[in-house]
């Protein structure tokens, strides 16, 4: 099963624990240590307004490698 999840942020959420420790939670969806941020969000900084797709390893696919249509799955081309 494939699941499409959209993330629109390019930086982590900073959670402060009761003891005062900072925990960075990944909000970009590209982290290899998800749900924790591993700084992979740097890959998303140049996305602009375009819709981007990343593979399981966090590599951005070029727009000629995939297509997206509302109400349909992402498909390889």
Asked if 52 is part of the footprint of ligand FES (rule: CB under 6 A), the reply reads no
The DSSP bridge pattern shows strands 75-76 and 22-25 to be unpaired
For residue 15, the minimal CB distance to ligand FES (Å) is 12
The Cα 4–Cα 1 span in angstroms is: 10
Asked if 61 is part of the footprint of ligand FES (rule: CB under 6 A), the reply reads no
> Judged by CB, which is closer to ligand FES: 45, or 73?
45
| Cα→Cα distances 5→20, 22, 44, Å | 31, 26, 15
Asked if 60 is part of the footprint of ligand FES (rule: CB under 6 A), the reply reads no
């Amino acid at each position: 099963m494939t699941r499409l999840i959209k993330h629109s942020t390019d930086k982590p959420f900073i959670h402060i624990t009761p003891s005062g420790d900072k925990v960075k939670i990944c909000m970009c969806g590209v982290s290899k240590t998800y749900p924790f941020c591993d700084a992979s969000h740097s890959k998303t900084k140049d996305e602009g307004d375009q819709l981007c797709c990343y593979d399981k390893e966090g590599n951005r696919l070029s727009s000629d490698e995939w297509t997206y249509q509302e109400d349909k799955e992402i498909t390889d081309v």
